[in-house]
Chain A
Amino acid sequence: MTPPSISPPAITETAITGPAIAALACEGLSKRYGELVAVEDVGFAIAPGQAYGLLGPNGAGKTTTISMLVGLLRPDAGTVTVGGVDLAEDPMRAKAGIGYVPQEIALYPELTGRENLRFFGRLFGLPRREVAGRIEEVLDLVGLTGRADSRLSTYSGGMRRRINIGAALLHRPQVLILDEPTVGVDPQSRKAILDGVERLVEEGMALLYTSHYMEEVERVCDRVAIIDHGRIIADGTRQELISLVGSADKVELSLDGDVDTALAKLRVVEGVIEAARTGATSIRLITEGGRYLLPSLITAVDGCATVTATQVVEPDLEATFLHLTGSTLRD
């Protein structure tokens, strides 16, 4: 499915040139691998105390973008500034403002939680007399004070995720970059992580957040960019993005029969904007006036499939995402 041609909204003036210097800003970021365009002309700015979500299907360019933001990849074009400091010109000072939490648990399993934090604290230049105190603060922040002296290999998945975030907070960064921070954790740990992240943002930390979980992004982020095929195709607040799909509704259909043929027939029904297969027997539609369109939809598939269940959902961020990218987040 070809994504609809929607120009990304211009980055707001306040975000880039407003009175406060952006905690993290990038402009015109591009990266190519031979003929493959991984990222093209990506730009956004995150103010202190702002939580910014980066949404996109796998292979959309999220990880490449983050790698360029934290200095792991050199962009072919474009600039990154952290608190006004150009990453290319003064990488040490710029990186001092970034707390990067990679998707994997980037810590040493044979060390204890405290030993891991002490190592990264020293590595990131914390003064010797401050290290112990700062470690206690971070352990308290991520709720692991009681398990600080256990080896990481004995931690649960959620505890590892929390200490993974803690290691990025040691040097008091201006901006926290979280790449899929809740993958594989139980609901309780996920809640603890999201609560902690929200608290940090309330205290003035800027946040760049990527996740497969749309509800997390909707909860934590006050601004979201949707990235696909290496480009930001939409950028705005939740309401601004949802308004891009107008009054469209999401219709979930469960079918029995030839689902592919049914999908082709549903696409041409008047009022259907987008259609995507979401499972072996399920199809998701973005429609105008979905509730009233149901009889036409059922009639359209008559002969090749039978509708066994329907659900009509009001527009939300996921519907917008589907509308803009033509795929689900887990594709």
Chain B
Amino acid sequence: MWRALVAVSALELRTRLRDGTALVIALLVPVTLATLFSLALGGDDPPLRATVGFVDLDGGEFPAGVRREVLASEELKGSVTLRDLPSREEAARALDADEIGSAIVFPAGFSRNVGDGRGGDVAVLTSPRSPLAGVVARAIVDRISALVDARTLAVRAVLLAGVPGDEVKELVERNGAAGPALTLSDDPLSGGKVDLAVYYGSGMAALFAFFVVGASFRGLLTERKLGTLDRMRAGPLAPWVPFAGKAAVGFTLALVSVCVTWAASVLVSGATWGDPLAVFAVLLAHVLAATAITMLVAGRVRTDAQADGVIMVISFVMAFLGGSLVPMHNLPEVLQGVALLTPNGWTSTALTELAGSGAGLAAVAGPIAVLCAIALVAGGLAVIGLKKGMLL
């Protein structure tokens, strides 16, 4: 039976390559659009404003220095606003309510611990709905980390040299590590621009995955019109073979399409989508869901016009609602909820998380599981529908 499957897939692939649609829809258009979006949105003026929550449970010199630097930064003026919040819980609540885009939390005793050479951890809370604020917060904390590391190292060195504990602080400050001389990088918003390039690059990849898969299922309609589908179904082969053969080619081409768009985005804008394994897993799950949804809907059409219309509507509705065309945080609150009913919404959430936080596969296990569940449900319904119509 596998030989029959390979025969159907090989013919489908040959047909798609011969008529040129595979190259145009799977590669040329998504890469071009993703590049244009990156260039158009990667200008000098940051397109977004961000509010960063500031939780100072320490009350020491480090948080005070950070606040001073942020307020003094020319690059952040007019773009980033600090909002003081009383607790980490309150910061999380404000983040969920989209009142802030990210938050920096200094724990109690942070400055004292650093001063004593014990180091310390500053927490950053981010939201995939506000990638820019996340980038700013992380840029600040990266700088803090560098300072903390330097200060901790200096203190330990002095302690090892046998200096009494009560003289350490004075000695370190006298020798050039006097408090948190925080300096922000030249343009902390540059990361935000890259994030938007990732956002639109992944959006195009997610959108065109539907088109690419849809083109293969449209091929089924052509087979039906030619009579070759009935000829296959009347032959000694399992009824799922023609569908599986088309689906396999659509799935493979869509996977190639999203991966090429990803690669082009990285090469053109220098954007980093995050951990490659995790990005690939998200894209794979997205293509799987897109294949199942397209199979569910396209399996019911009877004419070319219906097929074109249905594929177009599905692709654009999923893309719009799922944040592939318009960033999710720019959508009304109701639509942000609706976005999570689409695979594009979960894909967008997962890829933003990966690009923004630098997290790995574990961080996006949830969205990947949801995408697989969507694929399972839509694929199951598609199979039931095809069996009912005796096409399987």
A residues adjacent to B (C-beta < 8 A): 70-74, 92-93, 95-96, 98, 100, 102, 104-110, 119-120, 122-125, 128, 167, 171
Give the contacts of B197-237 with A (CB-CB under 8 A). Answer: 226-228, 230-237
Structural contact, A100 and B237, CB atoms closer than 8 A: no
Instruction: Please report the C-alpha to C-alpha distance between residue A71 and residue B232 in the assembled complex, in whole angstroms.
Output: 11
Structural contact, A73 and B390, CB atoms closer than 8 A: yes
Contacts of B122 in A (CB 8 A): none
**Closest partner residue, chain A, to B229 (CB atom):** A106
With A70-B234, A74-B390, A96-B236 as known contacts, state yes or no: A123 contacts B8, CB within 8 Å: yes
Can you name 21 A-B pairs with beta carbons within 8 Å? Answer: A93-B236, A95-B234, A95-B236, A96-B236, A102-B230, A102-B231, A102-B234, A104-B227, A106-B227, A106-B228, A106-B231, A108-B228, A110-B15, A110-B18, A123-B8, A123-B232, A124-B4, A124-B236, A125-B4, A125-B237, A171-B235
Shortest beta-carbon distance from A179 to chain B in Å: 10
Structural contact, B390 and A72, CB atoms closer than 8 A: yes
Instruction: Please report the C-alpha to C-alpha distance between residue A158 and residue B7 in the assembled complex, in whole angstroms.
Output: 27
Structural contact, B234 and A72, CB atoms closer than 8 A: yes
Closest 4 CB pairs of A and B: A106-B227, A96-B236, A70-B234, A100-B234
B238 part of interface (Cβ distance < 8 Å): yes
Structural contact, A95 and B235, CB atoms closer than 8 A: yes
Contacts of A96 in B (CB 8 A): 236
Contacts of A167 in B (CB 8 A): 231
Question: Which one, B4, B234, B241, contacts A71 given CB within 8 A?
Answer: B234
**Closest partner residue, chain B, to A71 (CB atom):** B234
Structural contact, A100 and B231, CB atoms closer than 8 A: yes
Structural contact, A98 and B234, CB atoms closer than 8 A: yes
Contacts of B233 in A (CB 8 A): 71-72
Give the contacts of B163-193 with A (CB-CB under 8 A). Answer: none
Instruction: Please report the C-alpha to C-alpha distance between residue A71 and residue B228 in the assembled complex, in whole angstroms.
Output: 15
Shortest beta-carbon distance from A115 to chain B in Å: 9
Instruction: Please report the C-alpha to C-alpha distance between residue A218 and residue B105 in the assembled complex, in whole angstroms.
Output: 94
Question: Which one, A74, A105, A124, contacts B235 given CB within 8 A?
Answer: A124
B64 part of interface (Cβ distance < 8 Å): no
Name A's interface SS: loop
Question: Which one, A102, A109, A110, A125, contacts B236 given CB within 8 A?
Answer: A125
Structural contact, A92 and B237, CB atoms closer than 8 A: yes
A-B contact count (CB 8 A): 68
Give the contacts of B1-26 with A (CB-CB under 8 A). Answer: 3-4, 7-8, 11, 15, 18
Contacts of B15 in A (CB 8 A): 110
Shortest beta-carbon distance from A116 to chain B in Å: 9
Structural contact, B3 and A125, CB atoms closer than 8 A: yes
Instruction: Please report the C-alpha to C-alpha distance between residue A125 and residue B390 in the assembled complex, in whole angstroms.
Output: 22
Structural contact, B227 and A123, CB atoms closer than 8 A: no
With A72-B390, A92-B238 known, 17 other A-B pairs at CB within 8 A are: A71-B233, A72-B230, A74-B390, A92-B236, A92-B237, A93-B236, A95-B236, A107-B226, A107-B228, A109-B226, A110-B15, A120-B231, A120-B235, A122-B4, A123-B4, A124-B4, A125-B237
Structural contact, B234 and A122, CB atoms closer than 8 A: no
Shortest beta-carbon distance from A210 to chain B in Å: 15
Structural contact, A119 and B231, CB atoms closer than 8 A: no
**Closest partner residue, chain B, to A170 (CB atom):** B235
Contacts of B231 in A (CB 8 A): 100, 102, 106-107, 120, 167
Instruction: Please report the C-alpha to C-alpha distance between residue A40 and residue B170 in the assembled complex, in whole angstroms.
Output: 104
Contacts of B235 in A (CB 8 A): 95, 100, 120, 123-124, 171
**Closest partner residue, chain A, to B19 (CB atom):** A110
Structural contact, A123 and B7, CB atoms closer than 8 A: yes
Contacts of B226 in A (CB 8 A): 104, 106-109
Instruction: Please report the C-alpha to C-alpha distance between residue A74 and residue B388 in the assembled complex, in whole angstroms.
Output: 10
Instruction: Please report the C-alpha to C-alpha distance between residue A96 and residue B21 in the assembled complex, in whole angstroms.
Output: 35
Instruction: Please report the C-alpha to C-alpha distance between residue A93 and residue B234 in the assembled complex, in whole angstroms.
Output: 12
Instruction: Please report the C-alpha to C-alpha distance between residue A262 and residue B325 in the assembled complex, in whole angstroms.
Output: 73
Instruction: Please report the C-alpha to C-alpha distance between residue A125 and residue B231 in the assembled complex, in whole angstroms.
Output: 14
With most chain A CB atoms within 10 A of its CB, the pick from B4, B11, B235, B237 is B235
Instruction: Please report the C-alpha to C-alpha distance between residue A58 and residue B127 in the assembled complex, in whole angstroms.
Output: 66
Contacts of B234 in A (CB 8 A): 70-72, 95, 98, 100, 102
With most chain B CB atoms within 10 A of its CB, the pick from A74, A104, A106 is A106
Contacts of A123 in B (CB 8 A): 4, 7-8, 232, 235, 237, 241
Contacts of A128 in B (CB 8 A): 3
Shortest beta-carbon distance from B386 to chain A in Å: 13
Shortest beta-carbon distance from B263 to chain A in Å: 32
**Closest partner residue, chain A, to B391 (CB atom):** A72
Instruction: Please report the C-alpha to C-alpha distance between residue A58 and residue B228 in the assembled complex, in whole angstroms.
Output: 23
**Closest partner residue, chain A, to B226 (CB atom):** A106
